[in-house]
Amino acid sequence: MFYSEVKSKEQVIKDTVQTWREDFPAFQSKVHGKPLVYLDNAATTLKPRLVSQTMQDYYLYGTANIHRGVHYLSEQATQAFEATRSKVKKFINAKDECEIIFTRGTTESINLVALSYGQTFLHAGDEILISQMEHHSNIVPWQMLCERKGCILKVIPINDEGEIIVDEYETLLSEKTKLVSVVYVSNSLGTVNPVRKLIESAHRVGAIILIDGAQAVSHFPIDLQKLNCDFFAFSGHKLFGPTGTGVLYGKQELLEKMPPVYGGGDMIASVTFEKTTYNKLPFKFEAGTPHIAGVIGLGAAVDYFQSLDLTAIQKHEEDLLAYGTNQFDSIDGLKIIGKAREKKAILSFTLGPIHPHDIGTIVDREGVAIRTGHHCTQPVMEYFGVSATARASLSFYNTKNDIDTLVEALGKVQKIFQ
What span, in angstroms and rounded, lies between the C-alpha atoms of 86 and 94?
10
Say how far residue 307 (Cα) sits from the centre of its chain.
Answer: 19
Which segments of the chain belong to CATH 3.40.640.10? 52-306
- Do the Cβ atoms of 250 and 101 come closer than 8 Å? yes
What span, in angstroms and rounded, lies between the C-alpha atoms of 179 and 74?
40
- The answer, yes or no, to whether residue 9 has pLDDT greater than 90, is no
What span, in angstroms and rounded, lies between the C-alpha atoms of 280 and 266?
10
Cα–Cα distance list, 361 to 168, 204, 230, 366, 371 (Å): 40, 49, 42, 9, 10
Q: State residue 189's pLDDT score.
A: 98
- The answer, yes or no, to whether residue 207 has pLDDT greater than 50, is yes
Q: State residue 1's pLDDT score.
A: 32
Average confidence (pLDDT) over 120-138: 98
| Amino acid occupying residue 259 | P
Q: How many other CB atoms are there within 10 angstroms of residue 219's CB atom?
A: 24
Q: How many other CB atoms are there within 10 angstroms of residue 104's CB atom?
A: 18
**Which band of pLDDT confidence, cut at 50, 70 and 90, is reported for residue 339?**
very high
CATH code for the part of the protein at 9-47+309-417 = 3.90.1150.10
Q: Give the pLDDT confidence of 65-106 residue by residue, as tens digits.
A: 999 889 999 999 999 999 999 999 999 999 999 999 999 999
Average confidence (pLDDT) over 309-337: 96
Residue 215: left if φ>0, alpha if ψ -120 to 50, beta else—which one? alpha
Q: State residue 3's pLDDT score.
A: 34
What span, in angstroms and rounded, lies between the C-alpha atoms of 179 and 127?
7
What span, in angstroms and rounded, lies between the C-alpha atoms of 20 and 286?
34
Average confidence (pLDDT) over 22-35: 96
- Do the Cβ atoms of 230 and 254 come closer than 8 Å? yes
Average confidence (pLDDT) over 382-407: 98
Which segments of the chain belong to CATH 3.90.1150.10? 9-47+309-417
Three-class SS state of 71: coil
| Amino acid occupying residue 19 | T
Average pLDDT of every residue of the chain: 96
CATH code for the part of the protein at 52-306 = 3.40.640.10
Helix axes 140-149, 106-113, angle to 10 degrees: 20
Q: How many other CB atoms are there within 10 angstroms of residue 140's CB atom?
A: 16
Beta-carbon-side half-sphere exposure of residue 406 (alpha carbons within 13 Å)? 32
DSSP states of 183-239: ESB-TTT-BB--HHHHHHHHHHTT-EEEEE-TTTTTTS---HHHH--SEEEEEGGGT
Average confidence (pLDDT) over 138-153: 98
CA proximity to 154, closest of 174, 186, 129, 133: 129
**Which band of pLDDT confidence, cut at 50, 70 and 90, is reported for residue 6?**
very low
Average confidence (pLDDT) over 355-377: 97
What's this model's pTM, rounded to 2 decimal places? 0.95
What span, in angstroms and rounded, lies between the C-alpha atoms of 65 and 71?
10
Average confidence (pLDDT) over 341-365: 97
- The answer, yes or no, to whether residue 380 has pLDDT greater than 90, is yes
- The answer, yes or no, to whether residue 128 has pLDDT greater than 80, is yes
**Does residue 151 have an active-site annotation?**
no
Average confidence (pLDDT) over 259-285: 92
Q: State residue 389's pLDDT score.
A: 98
What span, in angstroms and rounded, lies between the C-alpha atoms of 167 and 157?
10
Say how far residue 276 (Cα) sits from the centre of its chain.
Answer: 35
Q: Give the pLDDT confidence of 156-206 residue by residue, as tens digits.
A: 999 999 999 999 999 999 999 999 999 999 999 999 999 999 999 999 999
Q: How many other CB atoms are there within 10 angstroms of residue 70's CB atom?
A: 6
Average confidence (pLDDT) over 283-295: 96
- The answer, yes or no, to whether residue 218 has pLDDT greater than 70, is yes
Q: In 3-state terms, the chain is what percent helix, strand and coil (to 5)?
A: 45, 20, 35
- The answer, yes or no, to whether residue 410 has pLDDT greater than 80, is yes
In terms of Cβ atoms closer than 10 Å to its own Cβ (0-12, 13-18, 19+), residue 350 is: buried
Q: State residue 265's pLDDT score.
A: 84
**Which band of pLDDT confidence, cut at 50, 70 and 90, is reported for residue 418?**
confident
Q: How many other CB atoms are there within 10 angstroms of residue 231's CB atom?
A: 26
Continuous H helices in 330-385: 356-364, 378-384
Average confidence (pLDDT) over 197-222: 98
